[in-house]
């Protein structure tokens, strides 16, 4: 442990500040650098690839240190934040030249993964949400905010699963917790890689009260106050751009948990982790960053209110019917910058001259946009037209005051236009005339001395000077020139006249910069008063952007308007998977219909691997999502109900986070659907039961189908390789068999990718293995074994001369005779095996078991027990 009494005053100051932020890298300002010391320096040098040096290196215990230039600090901060760390910025609070003793320093901002506001061009269309959680009486208060846009929302969640789902859906990187949050949930959040921060105390400010004035729930108030306290404590700046909180309920939108979002590749490609190849990628024809963010929010929260969906459809249809106006709007929107984040910069005080020029440029497009909107159907776009505010006063102010070519810095001058302020113009005139006088003085001195290379220059240390080479020093008159600096080949001097002009110029420069900065802050404060108007405008513009994007995509890919019904009828004719179609091309893609009237709840899908069963299922889910965000859909025609939830169990993968096997993941995701689905839900189950033994899997698959059919009545697509299950259409009246067609041609398998009525007659597993490139010898051997297993006489006699030795060794089980006929309720086919089963009591237990009243997990336990009895 560091002995603080032996530290220098500066290091004592550093350590005192560091002790207040033990979980953050401390960037400590020293002149033109931000320095890190001790453990921060060691770890920071590794993460940022900096050279590690030391302070007091001659002592027995040198202090490790490394630093970054202040002008490049943002890049280094971003690297650490993206890696999940916090950075405390410690600034010099006074001019070191005028400081008496140690320079005062203080933390001006704590940057964290959830409070980062500078997203960069690559993430312009992504929100960066900071979330917060409070707990009381078995419920969670859940709130989130995006500091860069001012978005603020709150809800009540009832269990750990809901909290995890909301957090992952928002892709939050940091969550702020209250003191009572259960440890098991904290552990779960850590497992998925979310940074945990704590805010135990709450400090209610007046600005927070304004944001929360419409909230009555005490738990929601608690979590919002906790979140805002954390933001104020870390950012230490004005939050005037934060919008009044919106209270939302997940149940008011189509529920799509993070597993389903992942399986359906809504926002992220499973293989690459990127946007390309996703539904978001397909639908994103937005022209503004704020439009891109709103599209993503709409995708993650599809509507369930029919009137809201129909309203969006009207906008999309109107845009489709108005090609030229839509093209004009798209062209105008390309000139509109990110109004939401510009408003945030104004509020934070981080806005510069260039940002204000971007704001002016963006607002200058709004009258054009309003004019084009006025040309559209007023019955549909009337509200948009009436609510669009061009904010002309802000445009006029920036036009009069800010230079179009402003520098990045707002303290170095040349930000404010001429003729905006009289006093600033006087200072500038003094500087201009002073420099002109310096040029005249230089020429005058050259003539007087006869030194043609005499020159007048300037540096920050010595100010203005007259420089004469040493070879010409003897030409200078005595007593007029006062030596200021000696160089290798020259001497620098000053004169009374030069000093007088220097004082005038430097005073004008210094006062000019100070005045210019003060004028800029006044302009910024006036713009700040218009933040709410800018945010309202941004909301309107981003909505128009998303709606025109839907229309553009619908036109480009030949989507149609779906008809919504309340009768639970689903009839999609020649539907298409929109993303796969875009990749393959419309001429190549084979469309398929999904027809499930009010009397059909389950489609049982069979067919070979790679034939398109999973694509068919995903196609339906994506069509539902597109319909319920108000977009048109990829089909020839579509009659659709409104779904309240989508549950998916697609793909086979272990859950690395929880360490659970594929089969356990299958069971948990299946159970989530069974426990929460309603008759208005959509369930997609892809080959349930493959993660365990064949008979266990078949038993579970059948029991799940029966349970869904008899109890849930949700629209369900269930794909399987268990062909025995196709017999269920005889006992389950609301189930239909369909299959994906395939055929053999010259010994090779040809996928038709066409869904047809009825069950598949083969699985074509060996043909698929052939396509995968397995060796011919292996495939021939597999064919021999398959032929034997499919033969009518499947009982094996080890003394039979009809079988080879290999067949005797490999095929030891008579599958038909040994199989438990759980699927057609027949008895075992051989007396010997029947006696064996009777002796175990399993047959009687099966007869007595009321499988319809049991959950899938109960059935699985029973099957396991029966198997153990048989094996004895």
Binding-site entries:
607-614
Q: Are 639 and 562 in contact (CB under 8 A)?
A: yes
CA distance 575 to 591: 5
CA distance 624 to 260: 13
Q: Are 212 and 168 in contact (CB under 8 A)?
A: no
Return phi, psi of residue 843, to 5°: -60, -45
Which residues, including other chains, have CB under 8 Å from residue 345's CB and lie 6 or more apart? 117, 351, 355
How many whole angstroms from its chain centre is CA 814? Answer: 53
What is the radius of gyration, based on Cα positions, of the chain?
37
Beta strands at 139-146 and 151-157: parallel, antiparallel or unpaired: antiparallel
User: Binding site residues for ATP, as ranges?
Assistant: 607-614
Q: Are 610 and 625 in contact (CB under 8 A)?
A: no
CA distance 573 to 570: 10
Q: Are 389 and 536 in contact (CB under 8 A)?
A: yes
CA distance 577 to 569: 20
Give bridge partners of residue 575 from the DSSP assignment. Answer: 592
Q: Are 403 and 414 in contact (CB under 8 A)?
A: yes
State the burial class of residue 226 (Cβ atoms within 10 Å of its Cβ: 0-12, 13-18, 19+). Answer: buried
CA distance 355 to 353: 5
Nearest to 35 by CA among 92, 104, 84: 92
Which residues, including other chains, have CB under 8 Å from residue 438's CB and lie 6 or more apart? 456, 464, 501, 505
Structure tokens at 408: 């990045």
Structure tokens at 304: 């369930």
CA distance 225 to 27: 28
State the burial class of residue 232 (Cβ atoms within 10 Å of its Cβ: 0-12, 13-18, 19+). Answer: middle
How many whole angstroms from its chain centre is CA 418? Answer: 44
- Between CA 505 and CA 513, with CA 508 as vertex, the angle to 5 degrees is 125
Measured from the Cβ of residue 567, the count of other Cβ atoms closer than 10 Å reads: 9
Measured from the Cβ of residue 796, the count of other Cβ atoms closer than 10 Å reads: 15
Task: Quickly list DSSP for 216-233.
Answer: --HHHHHHHHHHHHHHHH
Q: Are 625 and 646 in contact (CB under 8 A)?
A: yes
Nearest to 768 by CA among 756, 750, 787, 791: 750
574: left (phi over 0), alpha (psi -120 to 50) or beta: left
- Between CA 310 and CA 317, with CA 315 as vertex, the angle to 5 degrees is 90
CA distance 132 to 230: 9
Tokens 């453990």 belong to: 39
Measured from the Cβ of residue 599, the count of other Cβ atoms closer than 10 Å reads: 10
Beta strands at 53-55 and 33-37: parallel, antiparallel or unpaired: unpaired
């Amino acid at each position: 442990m560091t002995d603080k009494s032996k530290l220098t005053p500066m290091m004592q100051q550093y350590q005192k500040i560091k002790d207040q932020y033990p979980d953050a890298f401390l960037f400590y300002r020293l002149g033109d650098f931000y320095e890190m010391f001790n453990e921060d320096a060691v770890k920071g040098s590794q993460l940022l690839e900096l050279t590690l040096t030391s302070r007091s290196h001659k002592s027995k215990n040198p202090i490790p240190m490394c630093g970054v230039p202040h002008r490049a600090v943002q890049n280094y901060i971003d690297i650490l934040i993206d890696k999940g760390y916090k950075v405390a910025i410690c600034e010099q609070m006074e001019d070191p030249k005028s400081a008496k003793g140690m320079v005062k320093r203080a933390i001006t901002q704590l940057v964290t993964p959830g409070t980062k506001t500078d997203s960069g061009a690559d993430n312009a269309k992504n929100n960066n949400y900071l979330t917060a959680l409070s707990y009381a009486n078995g419920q969670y208060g859940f709130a989130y905010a995006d500091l860069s846009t001012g978005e603020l929302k709150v809800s009540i969640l009832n269990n750990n699963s809901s909290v995890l789902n909301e957090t992952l859906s928002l892709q939050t990187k940091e969550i702020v917790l209250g003191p009572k949050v259960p440890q098991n949930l904290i552990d779960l959040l850590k497992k998925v890689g979310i940074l945990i921060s704590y805010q135990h105390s709450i400090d209610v400010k007046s600005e927070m009260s304004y944001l929360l004035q419409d909230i009555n729930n005490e738990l929601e108030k608690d979590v919002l106050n906790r979140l805002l306290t954390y933001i104020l404590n870390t950012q230490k700046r004005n939050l005037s751009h934060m919008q009044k909180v919106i209270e939302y309920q997940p149940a008011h939108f189509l529920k799509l948990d993070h597993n389903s979002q992942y399986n359906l590749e809504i926002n992220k490609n499973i293989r690459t982790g990127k946007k390309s190849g996703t539904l978001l990628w397909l639908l994103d024809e937005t022209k503004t960053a704020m439009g891109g963010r709103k599209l993503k929010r709409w995708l993650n929260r599809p509507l369930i209110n029919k009137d809201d969906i129909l309203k969006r459809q009207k906008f999309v249809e109107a845009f489709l019917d108005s090609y030229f106006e839509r093209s004009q709007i798209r062209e105008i929107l390309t000139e509109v910058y990110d109004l939401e984040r510009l408003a945030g910069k104004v509020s934070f005080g981080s806005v510069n001259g260039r940002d204000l020029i971007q704001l002016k440029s963006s607002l200058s497009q709004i009258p054009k946009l309003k004019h084009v909107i006025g040309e559209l159907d007023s019955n549909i776009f009337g509200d948009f037209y009436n609510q669009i505010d061009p904010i002309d006063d802000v445009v006029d102010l920036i036009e009069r005051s800010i230079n179009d070519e402003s520098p990045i810095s707002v303290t170095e001058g040349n930000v404010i236009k001429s003729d905006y302020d009289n006093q600033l113009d006087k200072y500038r005139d003094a500087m201009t005339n002073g420099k002109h006088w310096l040029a005249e003085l230089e020429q005058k001195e050259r003539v007087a001395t006869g030194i043609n290379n005499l020159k007048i220059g300037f540096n920050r240390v010595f100010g203005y000077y007259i420089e004469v080479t040493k070879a010409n020093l003897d030409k200078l008159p005595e007593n007029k020139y006062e030596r200021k600096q000696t160089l290798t080949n020259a001497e620098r001097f000053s004169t009374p006249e030069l000093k007088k002009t220097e004082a005038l110029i430097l005073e004008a420069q210094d006062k000019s910069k100070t005045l210019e900065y003060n004028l800029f802050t006044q302009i910024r404060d006036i713009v700040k008063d218009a933040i709410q108007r800018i945010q309202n405008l941004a909301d309107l513009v981003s909505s128009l952007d998303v709606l025109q994007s839907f229309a553009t995509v619908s036109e480009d890919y030949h989507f149609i308007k779906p008809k919504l019904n309340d009768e639970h009828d689903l009839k999609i004719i020649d539907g298409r998977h929109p993303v796969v179609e875009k990749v393959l091309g419309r001429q190549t893609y084979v469309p398929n219909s999904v027809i499930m009237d009010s009397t059909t709840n389950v489609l049982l899908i069979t067919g070979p691997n790679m034939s398109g069963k999973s694509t068919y299922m995903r196609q339906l889910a994506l069509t539902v999502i597109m319909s319920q965000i108000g977009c048109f859909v990829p089909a020839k025609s579509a009659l659709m109900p409104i779904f309240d939830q989508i549950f998916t169990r697609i793909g086979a993968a272990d859950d690395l986070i929880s360490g659970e096997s594929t089969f356990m993941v299958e069971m948990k995701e299946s159970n989530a659907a069974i426990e929460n689905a309603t008759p208005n839900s959509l369930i997609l189950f892809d080959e349930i039961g493959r993660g365990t033994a064949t008979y266990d899997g078949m038993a579970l698959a059948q029991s799940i189908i029966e349970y869904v059919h008899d109890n849930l009545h949700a629209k369900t697509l269930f794909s399987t390789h268990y062909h025995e299950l196709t017999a269920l259409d005889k006992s389950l009246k609301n189930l239909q068999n369909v299959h994906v067609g395939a055929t053999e041609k010259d010994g090779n398998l040809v996928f038709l990718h066409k869904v047809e009525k009825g069950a598949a007659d083969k699985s074509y597993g060996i043909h698929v293995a052939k396509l995968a490139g397995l060796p011919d010898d292996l495939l021939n051997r597999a064919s021999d074994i398959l032929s034997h297993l499919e033969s009518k006489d499947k009982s094996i006699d080890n003394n039979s001369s009809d079988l080879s030795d290999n067949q005797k060794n490999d095929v030891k089980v008579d599958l038909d005779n040994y199989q438990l006929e759980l699927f057609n309720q027949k008895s075992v086919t051989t007396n010997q095996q029947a006696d064996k089963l009777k002796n175990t009591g399993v047959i009687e237990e099966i007869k007595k078991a009321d499988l319809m009243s049991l959950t899938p997990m109960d059935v699985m336990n029973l099957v396991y027990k029966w198997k153990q009895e048989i094996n004895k």
